[in-house]
Amino acid sequence: MVKKLPLGISVIMLLFLLAITGCGKDDVQEVVYKKGMPKEDSPSFKEFMRYELGLARETTLSYQDHAYTITRSTKKGIQYYKYTDKELEDFYKPLFLAKKDLSKKLYDLAQVSFLEKRKINNELGENLPEITLNKRNVLKVKTTSGEKNFELPSAKGKKVFKALEAINKDNMLIQVEVCEILKNGDYGDGQSYYLFIKQDLSKHQLVKEDELHTTLGSGKLKDYLSVFPKVTEDGAYLKLFDNYIFEEETNKVRKIKDTDILSEDGKYVYINGAKQEENFIISDGIQQIQTVDNYLKGNKKYEAQFKLDYKSISNELGFKTPGVSSASIHYFNENYVVLSLSYHGVMVGTAGSVNVLIDLQKNKQQPTAYLVDLGIE
């Protein structure tokens, strides 16, 4: 004969079991859907606009006193630019004023040469290096501390591309690619290098691109690590290129899984955010975001958890559709996620498409999702 437990004890045990088995997922709330643009600007929307207008995809060298300094490699060489928060906000303000054709408005903004009037013509005056090549493809770097030439392996008679990837008060990092020039004038396969240089030009190290991780692991680049952005305040993790993170304590390079997405600033991971190759669709339902620290430690602590429902979105928009034909994350940063959704037509074609702007700034457990067609795919 099995003895029955008193009711009070049974309830306590049930609650305990629910807690340890993670059934709390059922409490995750669906986002709040709103049609149209956000009613006002915000820091996270501004960062999204920087990305969308091609101002964050270039190398951002610094952000100080509400001003960005960025660099872009052109046919004439490395060019620097500087612009303020206000200049950028005034530039994309028409998006908030437009009542229709928002995709055309964003497209038109992207065609304007925002940076043209914001060139920095006196690099040294802004504590930025002058980086040039002579006729023998010797790289010359000039700073306020002096100047120095750097020989590039097998560069004579070839095409050399150069870009400044990072700079701070101690170090700088230059990427160069040496390419064969083909008979038809095109460029063949190239060899890429990373050139780490001390700001006072006292020493440097040249590393092949495909040997970067090995060299980092050996500790030989310890004096230059400050060129990589900190993922955590204590500098325990640093953001490398692509989906790679450097763990300083162990000297190990860690990779974000192909199924997950690393945020633009390298500090957060969107679990299962990479669209599935077989159907180009990321799953709706519960969405989870972790800090890189928690992600690499393999725990289950989430910075944000919320539900997405593609059917709810199509209902909100009045689409008659059997479901999505494509769903992908176009942009992901600390407090903002932008999705691109396209829906099947009832018989053929498409029922419509939409961008979903998920704003996590005020509520990470039940964010607001703005449904608007910005023409972003």
Q: Give the model's pLDDT for residue 278.
A: 63
Q: What is the value of pTM for the model shown?
A: 0.88
Q: Provide the pLDDT for residue 188.
A: 86
DSSP-derived secondary structure letter, 168: -
Average pLDDT by consecutive 10-residue portion of the chain (377 residues)? 51 48 65 96 96 87 95 87 97 93 95 93 94 93 95 91 95 95 86 96 96 97 96 93 94 95 96 79 95 96 97 96 94 96 89 96 96 95
What is the per-residue pLDDT for 4?
Answer: 52
Long-range pairs for 349-352 at CB < 8 Å and ≥24 separation? 350/325, 351/314, 351/319, 351/320, 351/321, 352/317, 352/319, 352/321
Neighbours of 248 (CB within 10 A): 17
pLDDT at 10: 53
3-class DSSP state of 314: helix
| Alpha-carbon dihedral sign for residues 213, 218, 221, 226 | positive
Maximum Cα interatomic distance, the chain, rounded to a whole number of Å: 95
DSSP-based three-state secondary structure for 373:
coil
Site of tokens 């995709």: 103
188 to 50, 75, 192: CA distances (angstroms): 33, 18, 13
For 8, other C-beta atoms within 10 Å of its C-beta total 8
pLDDT at 348: 81
Q: Which long-range contacts (CB under 8 A, 24 or more apart) does 254-258 make?
A: 254/296, 256/295
d(CA 114, CA 96): 18
Phi and psi at residue 22, to the nearest 5°? 75, 20
Contacts for 282 with CB less than 8 Å, ≥ 6 apart: 272, 273, 274, 275, 276, 327, 328, 329
The CA distance from 73 to 58, in Å, is: 9
347 DSSP assignment? S
Q: What interhelical angle do 85-92 and 43-52 show, nearest 10? A: 80
> How many C-beta neighbours within 10 Å does residue 20 have?
8
CA distance 15 to 21: 10
> Read out DSSP for 104-149?
HHHHHHHHS-TTGGGEE--TGGGT--EEEE-TT--EEEEETTEEEE
The answer to whether 148 touches 201, Cβ cutoff 8 Å, is: yes
User: Could you state, in order of their start, the residue ranges of all structural domains in the chain?
Assistant: 34-121, 125-227, 257-377
Helices and strands: H and E segment counts in the chain: 8, 23
Cβ count within 10 A of residue 12: 12
Question: For residue 238, with 0-12 CB atoms within 10 Å meaning exposed, 13-18 middle and 19 or more buried, which class applies?
Answer: buried
Quick one: pLDDT at residue 25?
Answer: 57
Q: pLDDT tens digits, residue range 146-184?
A: 999 999 998 888 999 999 999 999 999 999 999 999 888
49-108: per-residue pLDDT in tens? 999 999 987 789 999 999 999 999 877 789 999 999 999 999 999 999 998 999 999 999
pLDDT at residue 23, as a whole number: 41
Say if residue 269 is exposed, middle or buried (CB neighbours under 10 Å; 0-12, 13-18, 19+): buried
